[in-house]
Chains A and B, each alone.
Chain A
Amino acid sequence: MAVRWSSEFYTAMEHKDLQANAMAVDNTGTYVLLAGRRYIAIKNLDDTDLENVRKFPRQSKYDVSAAEWNPISHQSELCVISSNQRLEVLTWRLGELTQMHSLRAHTRVITDLNWHQSNPNLLASCSVDTFIHIWDMRDPRRPASSLSAIAEASQVRWNRISSNLLATAHDGDVKLWDQRKGSAPVQYIAAHLSKIYGLDWSQQSETQLATSSQDNTIKFFDTNNPRKAEFVLTTNAPVWRARYTPFGNGLVTVVVPQLRRGENSLFLWNTTSRATPVHTFVGHRDVVLEFEWRKQRPGENDFQLVTWSKDQTLLVWRIEPFLQKLCGHDPDNHGKAERMHNEITDVSSEKKVASKIQPLQQEFSLLNVQIPNLEVLKMDAIRRSCTVLANTNNFSVILNVTFPNSYPNGVPPIFQIGEGSSVDETIAGKLIQTLTTTAQQRVSKNRTCLEPCLRQFVVTLEQLVDPSDGSRHHQPVYLESDVLGSFNDACIPFPRTSGAKFCSVSVLVCFTRQSPARRASVKIDSTTPRALSALGNAFNSRRANEYMTVYSYYLQKQRSRIKQNNRVLQKTVITVYDAADLFSVNKQLAEKYILDGDTSKICRHNALMAESIGRWDLVQAWSLARLIVNPQQVEQEDMLEHPFGNQLIQSLINFYATHSDLQMAAMLCCVFGKGEDENVRRKSFLKYLSSGQLASGKKWLKSGGSPYHTIPPADVVADGWVFPLLRTTRSNSLDNLRMEELPQLIPQRTSTSTLYEYYKLAYAEILHRWGLLYNRAEVLKYLSAPGEIHKGVEFLTDCQKCKQPARGSSCLNCKQLSLECVVCHISVRGSANCCLVCGHGGHTKHMQQWFEENNVCPTGCGCKCLLETIGMFNF
């Protein structure tokens, strides 16, 4: 009976052969259940005899992975333990432990369980089999409901306030479920990149939860805004459990037991100042397996923490008022504050107002005051005001913030620059404007805005730097969590450090990170991380005041020295490649090809050009094309009339198109598609003649000559879709045949013609990119669809007869030519020049001749056209 008393903790039990790995403290704070493979033990904490333990042998192959007492007082004798795939519900009554139910439904080992926080009949359990079962003690044969999570679950926790909400942890993610809607999670939080070990809901707030993970961090989430963690607490080892304290803003954490890093302590943190733990509980001689809060006894100031360690001792720690104070909980003032709270409620007689103080108070308490260059002078939740002092760049500015009653529901706080600030009015105005904008953005979504505003305040001040201080401009702020630190980097993809982009026609731009050492073959031990937060973690586990950049990430990965200054060492080089040879389009050819003139001449010329740059494949194609249009060279019958001529061209075009040689495809389309637009127009004309009159239309078409006429009719020439040269010798019924076929042929042609139009357009774009505008215009001339209508400044002339504005050379109203040359008094059809000021003008040639000698308008109106026009353009 040697109770080891110390100021801080006492040993409640020491028992070597228990080998328990699960522990639970009951609702009354009296009994502790310890469960292991061999025994279940119950210890009365009020009993100071170390050895006095009730042991119940439990012959089982399996360890107990989790145990919990029912938290509801009238069912507090119930407790549940998990044993492999089963749950055992036990009753502790009159010193006897009896098994009530054995719950079987899971098919793999159960990882965690949790009683419902308000309904004593409900219990949730989760397992590696990916299911989360909710059990009702009134019907223990099967789960009352099951949630299917796809991924295996490691933790399950009911919300402490909302009775329907529960959270489960799956590897690095958290899923939130509503038990009424079990088909799918209601929320999904991508919390960590590493496994989550512990999950806990806040004691006070329905929407707050904390996760602890392998990645050394504890993240705090607001389920209303699960996209980013509200804040992150970083430790130096993987965190096994993180649980909220029942008082203040505290949080207790332990490291992962399997790691056995010699860290046998528990840490107490204040979540509002997250740099270091506020207290360390030292006492265990081996790793802590489980800890739980003991219910506070009435009349006691202390809270008690019960811990069970691998050293087989059960310790009870007193959390004395000074420790509670460190967590932002003042046991003395607690009553006072409550009283004050009540007073306000009384005075206002409107509960709403009083309840509004709460969010502000909460915001104040959650405020991370460790903003560089900023000092909080005063925070008064009752008066709803806050005063801060910023000292940066020789500026020292006092900012008063007043929060209106309806803040933060759409109403921003009021900012004022306090007296004694060393900024002039313009800067002060600017500051306030920036702050109001920032605040407005937040409160428009009903979010609190104090911290972002304060950070913005400092940043804005820092940006007011006088330009002489040039060294400051580059700061990789994003990793230093300055302005932007509140972002959840876990959702932002890891930055690209290499890339390749095809640009313009055939330019390939590449950049890669330079390997610092010449060793190019450093083996990369792991794949590249996916999210930006990888940088943050690597950074946090190292020293605190060094920037972690993408570059140093790779440096670190290659285990090189990081002593050198990162920024000097690296070279950021971009290589621009000319990948023209990978493509069949050729700029030289584009310049040399012609599209004007006789088809066979075009083919001959283009074949020569292809030869000149050594593209023999194209020489052949052009020669073949020439044979098609130039039948004289072939002894045989005319290729045009030859049924294969047409098809040959089409298959040539098709071939080049499928080989992505847009240049050749488009050229062929242009050269052989000359008649096509004609063709399309004819088609529409035929339609216009109405289908009923098609026969007469045919007759009309035929009227150029009888079927036996030896000279082909002009219409038929225009009809040939490709072939400008038609045989001139014989004629037979083929002419008629073509006419008959015409209506059927057209649809087939137009379907391909859309493709051909596309080739021309695409080739025109390539020419545009090469800057070959003339060649582009030539290609565009072959488009059957009109180019886009010019938008922008356009010159209109007023018709001289009817005084209506006329576009183009003739007036639409009176059909007269609209512009008369002021020199020769003849209407202008072709190119014209006009003075922008007096509006007089005429044939370009005449105007040119005139203004070579004169500088006033030929009409004698006195306008100095040249000077005036130049003046206008300068404007």
Chain B
Amino acid sequence: MVSILNTIDTGHEDMIHDAEVDYYGLRLATCSSDNSIKIYDIKNGAHMLLEDLKGHFGPVWQIAWGHPKFGNLLASCSYDRKVIIWKEQQGKWSKYYEYANHDSSVNSVQFAPPAYGLILACGSSDGCISVLTYQSETNTWEAKKIQNAHAIGCNAISWSPSITPEPAFDNHQPQTLTKRLVSGGCDNLVKIWREDGDRWVEESKLEVHSDWVRDVAWAPSIGLSRHIIASCSQDRRVIIWTSEDCQTWNSSVMHTFDDVVWNVSWSLNGNILAVSGGDNKVTLWKQNLEGNWQCISDVVKGQGQISGDQRAL
């Protein structure tokens, strides 16, 4: 069973497009078609509006919290072609950095795992992916652009986890971490990008979806040296991609839904996947010991309850 911690009437004047809770689970940020971003304190079941951020001139599609070791950061992206990084300083949120070098709506933002430093990736409908790196020496953001990552447009991006149990630990040398990104776009492709020196190169191109890819999510490693990516698409399918070495990827269709699928999200343990889509339903999926994916719960809107079976152990 899953219990409700909190129900928040956000008071947004239009549809909500994304919501995320921060690293510690204490604050909730939401964004909406009314061009605003709201931040709530949800500690102990409270819901107090902390801030109403206005700075975008179009619907805000997605938001992402930064790791607290860099301060309280929130990134947002919008139809107005801008990415804004907001920072809390002395209890006040303000614009920290604005990136406006995309030619079309920016659809996805995500901060890199903190081990890589303060890095933000964003994907836009102009087909490009930008990787913004904070340079603490000069207090500036350096932008690298992957041109034409997806024909027509990039809809989603996700970073690979930084802590993976790869056999490089034993020699006490500080490990050089390979940064990887996964992206999905209107060309029906899922692509894996690897940072190679100062460039980003396309490592793999995964071609199974038959319509626009709407979301991708790279799972946190769950203790097996294996990479897992979930992708969902307009073709109503969720596909799970697995790989041992990031070179060859195997795909399996997790499920075909009744309507388009918009959203996939892994739990921190990497064993449960939350899926939502155009049919207004949220479902949770888990792999059983035989390797099949099972729906363990269903959130029916309005009921506010998730009925699921017991924890699996």
- A570 CA to B9 CA in the complex, in Å? 11
| B202 adjacent to chain A (CB < 8 Å) | no
| A9 adjacent to chain B (CB < 8 Å) | no
Q: Is the CB of A579 within 8 A of B2?
A: yes
- A621 CA to B151 CA in the complex, in Å? 53
Which of these, A509, A549, A662, contacts B269 with CB under 8 Å? A662
Q: Is the CB of B14 within 8 A of A575?
A: no
- Most chain B beta-carbon neighbours within 10 Å: one of A501, A585, A661: A501
Q: In chain B, what residue has the closest Cβ to A664?
A: B313
Q: A493-B214, A496-B262, A579-B2 are in contact. Are A771 and B302 (CB under 8 A)?
A: no
Q: What chain B residues lie within 8 Å of A513 (beta carbons)?
A: 15, 280
| B277 adjacent to chain A (CB < 8 Å) | yes
Q: Is the CB of B25 within 8 A of A503?
A: yes
- A520 CA to B298 CA in the complex, in Å? 15
Q: In chain B, what residue has the closest Cβ to A757?
A: B169
Q: Is the CB of B274 within 8 A of A477?
A: no
| A726 adjacent to chain B (CB < 8 Å) | no
Q: Is the CB of B167 within 8 A of A769?
A: no
Could you give, for residues 25-43 of chain B, a 1 whenever the CB lies within 8 Å of some chain A CB and a 0 otherwise? 1001010111100000010
Main secondary structure on chain A at its contact with chain B? mixed
- A670 CA to B312 CA in the complex, in Å? 24
Q: What chain A residues lie within 8 Å of B221 (beta carbons)?
A: 758, 762
Which of these, B20, B165, B186, B275, contacts A509 with CB under 8 Å? B20
- A471 CA to B164 CA in the complex, in Å? 51
- A661 CA to B20 CA in the complex, in Å? 24
- Which of A99-107, A234-242, A373-381, A483-491 contacts the other chain? A483-491
Q: A499-B276, A751-B167 are in contact. Are A581 and B311 (CB under 8 A)?
A: yes
Q: Is the CB of B304 within 8 A of A575?
A: yes
Q: A500-B263, A576-B28, A579-B267 are in contact. Are A510 and B5 (CB under 8 A)?
A: no
Q: Is the CB of B212 within 8 A of A493?
A: yes
Q: Is the CB of B170 within 8 A of A680?
A: yes
Which of these, A491, A511, A576, A657, contacts B42 with CB under 8 Å? A576
Q: Is the CB of A550 within 8 A of B16?
A: no
| A62 adjacent to chain B (CB < 8 Å) | no
- Which of A342-350, A523-531, A602-610 contacts the other chain? A523-531
| A186 adjacent to chain B (CB < 8 Å) | no
Q: What chain A residues lie within 8 Å of B42 (beta carbons)?
A: 576
Could you give, for residues 456-491 of chain A, a 1 whenever the CB lies within 8 Å of some chain B CB and a 0 otherwise? 000100000000000001101110000110011001
Q: A477-B57, A500-B263, A755-B223 are in contact. Are A495 and B163 (CB under 8 A)?
A: no
* Shortest Cβ gap from B105 to chain A (Å): 5
| A492 adjacent to chain B (CB < 8 Å) | yes
- A311 CA to B23 CA in the complex, in Å? 71
Q: What chain B residues lie within 8 Å of A493 (beta carbons)?
A: 107, 125, 153, 155, 186, 212, 214
Q: In chain A, what residue has the closest Cβ to B156?
A: A493
| B168 adjacent to chain A (CB < 8 Å) | yes
Q: Is the CB of A754 within 8 A of B165?
A: yes
Q: In chain A, what residue has the closest Cβ to B277?
A: A498
Q: What chain B residues lie within 8 Å of A658 (beta carbons)?
A: 222-224
- A567 CA to B153 CA in the complex, in Å? 30
Q: Is the CB of B2 within 8 A of A572?
A: no
- A575 CA to B276 CA in the complex, in Å? 14
Q: Is the CB of B260 within 8 A of A528?
A: yes
| B203 adjacent to chain A (CB < 8 Å) | no
- A765 CA to B161 CA in the complex, in Å? 13
| A364 adjacent to chain B (CB < 8 Å) | no
| B241 adjacent to chain A (CB < 8 Å) | no
- A488 CA to B211 CA in the complex, in Å? 18
| A593 adjacent to chain B (CB < 8 Å) | no
Q: A520-B301, A582-B2, A755-B225 are in contact. Are A503 and B20 (CB under 8 A)?
A: yes
Q: In chain A, what residue has the closest Cβ to B236?
A: A527
Which of these, B278, B284, B299, contacts A582 with CB under 8 Å? B284
Q: In chain A, what residue has the closest Cβ to B106?
A: A492
Q: What chain B residues lie within 8 Å of A570 (beta carbons)?
A: 14-15
Q: What chain A residues lie within 8 Å of B18 (beta carbons)?
A: 496, 499, 501
| B146 adjacent to chain A (CB < 8 Å) | no
* Shortest Cβ gap from A358 to chain B (Å): 26
Q: Is the CB of A574 within 8 A of B8?
A: yes
| B296 adjacent to chain A (CB < 8 Å) | yes
| A785 adjacent to chain B (CB < 8 Å) | yes
Q: What chain B residues lie within 8 Å of A751 (beta carbons)?
A: 167
- Most chain B beta-carbon neighbours within 10 Å: one of A478, A520, A750: A478
| A512 adjacent to chain B (CB < 8 Å) | yes
| B251 adjacent to chain A (CB < 8 Å) | no
| A761 adjacent to chain B (CB < 8 Å) | yes
Could you give, for residues 559-591 of chain A, a 1 whenever the CB lies within 8 Å of some chain B CB and a 0 otherwise? 000000001001111111111011111000000
Which of these, A483, A499, A567, A765, contacts B263 with CB under 8 Å? A499
- A484 CA to B302 CA in the complex, in Å? 35
Which of these, B172, B276, B313, contacts A659 with CB under 8 Å? B313
Q: A491-B125, A578-B2 are in contact. Are A657 and B223 (CB under 8 A)?
A: yes
- A507 CA to B43 CA in the complex, in Å? 12
Q: What chain B residues lie within 8 Å of A419 (beta carbons)?
A: none
| B159 adjacent to chain A (CB < 8 Å) | no
Q: Is the CB of A657 within 8 A of B222?
A: yes
Q: Is the CB of B15 within 8 A of A507?
A: no
* Shortest Cβ gap from B30 to chain A (Å): 6
| B247 adjacent to chain A (CB < 8 Å) | no
- A478 CA to B78 CA in the complex, in Å? 11
| B98 adjacent to chain A (CB < 8 Å) | no
| A497 adjacent to chain B (CB < 8 Å) | yes
* Shortest Cβ gap from A58 to chain B (Å): 43
Q: A500-B282, A573-B8 are in contact. Are A617 and B165 (CB under 8 A)?
A: no
Q: What chain B residues lie within 8 Å of A584 (beta carbons)?
A: 269, 311, 313
Q: What chain A residues lie within 8 Å of B23 (beta carbons)?
A: 504, 769
- A503 CA to B65 CA in the complex, in Å? 10
Q: Is the CB of A500 within 8 A of B186?
A: no
- A585 CA to B222 CA in the complex, in Å? 13
Q: A577-B3, A657-B223 are in contact. Are A507 and B21 (CB under 8 A)?
A: yes
Q: What chain A residues lie within 8 Å of B126 (beta carbons)?
A: 227
- A759 CA to B164 CA in the complex, in Å? 10
Q: What chain B residues lie within 8 Å of A786 (beta carbons)?
A: 172
Q: Is the CB of B15 within 8 A of A550?
A: yes
* Shortest Cβ gap from B34 to chain A (Å): 6
Given contacts A483-B80, A503-B25, A583-B269, 11 further A-B contacts (CB under 8 A): A484-B58, A484-B79, A493-B153, A501-B265, A508-B284, A528-B259, A528-B277, A549-B14, A750-B170, A761-B163, A765-B163
A-B CB contact pairs (8 Å), 10 listed: A227-B126, A487-B105, A496-B17, A498-B282, A502-B265, A510-B299, A514-B302, A574-B30, A582-B296, A754-B165
